[in-house]
Structure 1
Amino acid sequence: MGLGLQLRRRLPEGLRELALYGLASALALGVDWGLLLLLTKLGVNYLVASGAGFTSGIGVTYVLSVSMVFRHRPVADRRREFVGFLGVGLAGLILTQGLMALWVEALHWTPGLAKIPTAGVVFLFNFTVRRALLFRAPRVDAARP
């Protein structure tokens, strides 16, 4: 039995989506962090490397989000859905860059270390906003019979 099916049977939908989004994000983070470390080792500025890695991770997250995470996709036009997904990702990128600069410049952390708290904050931001705007379940009207 697949992990998605196991989670679907055992968890409420919101928690199931959070867990699966966490797995999808972990894979995207692997791409993101790997590029950050590789590019900074090659001498690329940490903010450029961070942006390149984050942008690559958006693609991974989108494919996994629409294929295994979110059951409800109320935006019928898939191009609009992708643009919305990308827009949230760009907001996440701005948040990422601000936090990376804070940790590296103000606290003198290495970019690899700075990515840890940054990834956690941006994960919660992206999940919450994407679920609310792009992948919300239809509302059930309790007053209707």
Structure 2
Amino acid sequence: MNNLMQQIMKFGLVGVFCFFVDYFIYLGANVLFENVGIAAAFPKYYLISALIGFTVSVVVNYILSFKFVFVRRDDMSRKKEFVIFLILSIIGMGVNELCLFVGIDLIYMHWAWLKGIMSEGFAKNIFFKFGATGVVMVYNFITRKIFLEQKD
């Protein structure tokens, strides 16, 4: 159990670092889209921002995960490992996008009392983004442990 806890802690540290990579790219893209007028033409621009941030963070996460967190399988090529990692990450991205869509478009935009206690910017950039990230982190750890890590 001690090794599992250490692994979860390492995964958490890598995840926090990759979250900041994802998050700051997400925020930067949102600001860019808002300032060049894309937000007016495409109201769901934040989903594109999330996709860009998520994509960059996946590459960083792959490198750091196999350097510090998971033990590579001896029976799997690096190409196959990356493809599986990418597929799992794309599913995770879908979960992330779904969480943002449900949180912002289906909950926040239709619940007046929620709009009364938090701004749209806070809802998009903090509340639902952090919630989506938490859900995806749990998914990522479990699926990578099952499909990519060397079994004892």
Matched length: 128
Decide whether the 8 Å contact of 1:27 with 1:60 is kept in 2.
no
Q: Is the 8 A contact 2:66 2:72 kept in 1?
A: no
Decide whether aligned partners of structure 1 residues 131 and 92 sit closer, same or farther in structure 2, where only a CA change above 3 A counts: same
Alpha-carbon distance between aligned partners in 1 of 2:74 and 2:91, rounded to the nearest angstrom: 21
What's the TM-score once normalised by structure 1's chain length?
0.82
User: 1:27 aligns to what?
Assistant: 17
Task: Quote the Cα distance in structure 2 between the aligned partners of 1:50 and 1:18.
Answer: 25
What residue is the counterpart of 2:140 in the other structure? 126
**In 1, Cα distance between equivalents of 2:78 and 2:93:** 22
Deviation at 1:73, TM superposition (A): 2.5
Unaligned ranges ≥5, structure 2: 39-44, 109-119
Give the gaps of 5 or more residues in structure 1.
1-10, 139-145
* 108-117 vs 12-21, greater mean Cα deviation: 108-117
Sequence identity (%): 26
Structure 2 distance, partners of 1:81, 1:35, is 26
TM-score, normalization: structure 2? 0.79
> CA-atom RMSD, angstroms?
1.5
- Aligned residue type for 2:31: K
Aligned residue type for 2:105: E
Q: Which amino acid aligns with 1:61?
A: N
Name the aligned partner's letter for residue 126 of structure 1: N
Mean alpha-carbon deviation: is it higher for 63-72 or for 108-117?
108-117
Taking the aligned partners of 1:82 and 1:118, their CA distance within structure 2 comes to 23
Match of 1:71 in 2: 71
CA contact (8 A) 2:50 2:97 kept: yes
Structure 2 counterpart SS, 1:42: helix
Q: Tell me which moved more, 102-111 or 40-49.
A: 102-111
Go from structure 1 to structure 2 and tell me whether the alpha carbon gap of 1:19 and 1:134 turns closer, same or farther (over 3 Å shift). Answer: same
